[in-house]
Chain A
Amino acid sequence: MSKHRYDPQATVRAYIMVFACLMIFTALTVAAAFVDLGAMNNAVAMAIAATKAVLVAMIFMHLRGGSPLNVLWISSGIFGFVIMIAFPLLDLLSRNILGIPGK
C-alpha cells in the first residue's frame, strides 16, 4: 500500500489490460465448450475460471502489493471453501468401500 506509489495512468492501464484478458478468457470458455474433450471439458472450464478469479483478486481487488493481512483473509475464505467441498466429498467417496451396506 504505502510502499507502492499511486500512479493513475499505470493503474488504469492495468485495469484495461485485465478487462481485456477477462473478455478473452470468456470467449475462450465459450469456444472450449464447443470442443468435445470428454471429462476434460470441466477441467478446462474450471482452469479458465480460476485464472480469471486470480486476475480479479490480484489486480481489481489489489491483493498484489496490498497488505499480507488481506492475503491471509482471502486465503482463509478459500480454505473454508475447500473444506466445504472436501469433507462432503470424502464422505461420498468413502461410502460403501467395503461392499457391505453402510461400511
Chain B
Amino acid sequence: MQTSEAKKVNYLSAQHTVASWLLTIDHKRIAILYLVSITVMFLIGGLMAAAIRAELLTPAGDLMGSDTYNKAFTLHGIVMVFFFLIPSIPATLGNFLVPLMIGAKDLAFPRINLLSWYIYMVGATIGIVATVTGGLDTGWTLYTPYSTAYATTNVVMPAIGLFITGFSSILTGLNFIVTIHKMRAPGMTWFRLPLFIWAQYATSIVMILATPVIAITVLMVAIDRGLGLGIFDPKAGGDPVLFQHLFWFYSHPAVYIMILPAMGVISEVIPCFSKKRIFGYNFIAASSLSIAIIGFFVWGHHLFTTPQSMYAAMAFSIITFAVAVPSAVKTFNWTATMYRGSVSFEAPMIYAFGFMGLFLVGGLTGLFLGALGLDLHVHDTYFVVAHFHYIMVGGAIMAYMAGLHFWWPKMTGRMYPEGPAKAAALLIFVGFNLTFFPQFLAGYAGMPRRYHYYPPEFQIFNVLSTAGSSILALGYLLPLGYLLWSLRYGRAAGRNPWGATGLEWMIDSPPSPHNFDETPVVTWEPYDYPDAHRRTAEHAASEAARV
C-alpha cells in the first residue's frame, strides 16, 4: 500500500454504470445512495419549513388556510423525522464507516443492506406521494381519534409508507449488530472499538426493539380507519390513550435513534481536534448503552396531560430525569477531553462545538418538560417545538454536518474549502439560535403550536424566528454548494488529512472496493493521540508499528 499507487481503483471509480450503483452491494456505495436520497428528503422537508415560517411572519393567515398549513407542518414533520433524521447518520455515515472502523470488508449482509435502501425508497415514495397528493393533516404524531375517525385527508397511504420504511431501519440495525459482533478484525476487542461503533450498536438495539411497534401501531390506525375495528375507539371498548402509549413507545426511543449516532460522531471529532485520548472511554461507551435501555422506560412523559394515571406519570417523570444522567456523562467527558488538549478549530470541530452548546440547551429544557407541573404549563406550546428542534436540529443535524465534514475527505478523496465550511457552521449556529430561541419565549408566554394564526403580541417572536430561519437555510445551502464543488475541484485529501486515529484513516481515500488489502491486526488502544502534554515513549513505539 504505497502512495505511488495513487491511481489504484477506488469504490467510486471501480464502475461507472447506473446499474453498478443501483445493484451495488458495496456498503460504501449504499451509503452514497442513502446520502443522496436523504438530502432530497431534507430539501423537501426544508421547503415545508420555509413555507411554515413564511406563513407565521404575520398573525393572520395570509399565505395559506388552516387546512393547507396543517398539511404543510405534517409533511415537514413526517419527512424530517422518518425519512431524514432516522436514517441520517446510521444509514449514511454508519453504513460507510462501520465496516471500515472495525477492519471488515463489508457489512455482514451486503444484500440485505441494499434491500434496506430499496425498502426505504419504496416507503418514502409512498409516504411523499400520499402526503403530496391527498395530503395528511394529523401532524407527524397521527394522534387518534382524529386520525382514525375525523381526518378527511389521506391517512392510510402515509401509514403504509411508514410501515414499509420501518423495515429498512430494522434491517440496518440487524446488519450493524451482526457485523459488530462477528466481523471485527483480529485484535479489535470491544474496548478498542471507536465510540462511534458503540453508539451505532446502541442505536441498532433501539432500531430492532422499537421499530416493529411503530410499524404495527400505524397499521392499527389504518385498520381502525379502514375497517372501523375500534382499537382506539372508546365506543368499541378501545382507548385513544393506548395509541399514544404505543406511538411513544417507539417515538421516544426514536429520539435516541437520532441522537445516539450524533453523540458517536462527536466522540470521534472532539479527540481528533484536541489531539488527546478521549476522557472516560468506558463511561462514554456504557452511557450509550444505558441511554438506549433507559430510553425505553420514559415514553409516558408525552402523556402527562392525558388521563394517564398520575402514578404512571410520576414513574415516567422520575425515569425521564434519570435518562439525563448518561447524556450529561458524555457532555462532561467531551469537555474533559478538550481540557489541556491542543484544540484546533477546523470546520468539523466548529460543528461539534455547535452540537455541544445546542444539545445542552435542548437537553436541559427536556428536563423542564419532564417535570410534571411545568409540563402542564408548556404542553403543546412552542416551548416543546423549540426543545425538540434544539435536540434534533441543533443536536442531530449539527453532528451529522460535523460527521459529514469530518469524513467527506475519506468518502470522496477530496477536501472542501475550509473557509466557506467554517462560515456555514457559524451561519447555521447563529441562524439556528435566532430561529428557535424566540420559540422558547413564545411558548413560555403561551403560544400554542400548530396554528397558522396567532394573537398579535406573539408577532415579535415569530418575526425573529422567520428571520433566523432564512439565515439557517443559507447555512444549509452553502455546504450543498461547496461539497459538490469539491467533488471536482477540491484538492486531494490523502489518507489522513486530520491526523486522526482509527482504521478508516489508514486506507486510501476514497477506499478501494474491498476496503483493506489485507485484514488489519489491531495492537493499539483507541484514540491513541499524542497526549498534548505527556507524549510517551510507548506511543511513539505504537505509532512506528502502525506505519
Contact = CB atoms under 8 A, between A and B. Distances in A.
A84 B312 contact: no
Contacts of B245: 87-88, 91
A91 B249 contact: no
B309 A76 contact: no
Interface in A64-102: 69, 76-77, 80, 83-84, 87-88, 90-97, 102
Interface string B230-261: 00000000010110011001000000000000
Contacts of A69: 181
A76 B300 contact: no
B211 to A, nearest CB: 11
B406 to A, nearest CB: 32
A90 B213 CA distance: 19
Q: Tell which of B213, B297, B303, B309 has the most Cβ of chain A within 10 Å.
A: B309
A103 B310 contact: yes
A80 B296 contact: yes
A67 to B, nearest CB: 10
| Size bracket, chain B contacts | 20 to 34
Contacts of B297: 83, 87
B13 interface: no
A92 B310 CA distance: 11
Given A84-B246, A84-B249, A94 B209 contact: no
B213 A88 contact: no
Contacts of B242: 88
Contacts, number: 47
Given A69-B181, A83-B296, A84-B249, A90 B205 contact: no
B481 interface: no
Nearest to B297: A83
B209 A91 contact: no
Contacts of B456: none
Q: Tell which of A93, A95, A96 has the most Cβ of chain B within 10 Å.
A: A95
A95 B309 contact: yes
Contacts of B311: 90, 94, 97
B307 interface: yes
Contacts of A88: 242, 245-246
A85 to B, nearest CB: 10
Interface string B298-327: 011001000111111001000000000000
Contacts of B208: 77
B189 to A, nearest CB: 16
Given A83-B297, A91-B245, A102 B307 contact: yes
Nearest to B308: A91
A92 B234 CA distance: 14
Interface in A1-58: none
Given A76-B205, A80-B209, A83-B297, A94 B312 contact: yes
A87 B312 CA distance: 8
B428 to A, nearest CB: 36
Contacts of B249: 84
Interface in B260-317: 296-297, 299-300, 303, 307-312, 315
Nearest to B239: A92
B328 to A, nearest CB: 24
Contacts of B241: 91
B240 to A, nearest CB: 12
A87 B239 CA distance: 15
Nearest to A84: B249
Given A69-B181, A77-B209, A84-B249, A91 B309 contact: yes
Contacts of A103: 310
B297 to A, nearest CB: 7
Interface in B471-487: none
A88 to B, nearest CB: 4
Q: Tell which of A77, A88, A93, A97 has the most Cβ of chain B within 10 Å.
A: A88
Contacts of B209: 76-77, 80
12 contacts: A87-B299, A88-B245, A91-B308, A91-B309, A92-B239, A92-B309, A94-B311, A95-B307, A95-B308, A95-B309, A102-B307, A103-B310
Given A87-B245, A90-B312, A92-B309, 20 more contacts: A69-B181, A83-B297, A84-B213, A87-B297, A87-B299, A87-B300, A87-B312, A88-B242, A90-B315, A91-B241, A91-B300, A91-B308, A91-B309, A91-B312, A92-B239, A93-B309, A95-B309, A102-B307, A102-B310, A103-B310
Shortest 10 CB-CB contacts between residues of A and residues of B: A91-B312, A94-B309, A88-B245, A80-B209, A95-B309, A94-B311, A91-B309, A91-B308, A84-B249, A90-B312
Interface of A: 69, 76-77, 80, 83-84, 87-88, 90-97, 102-103
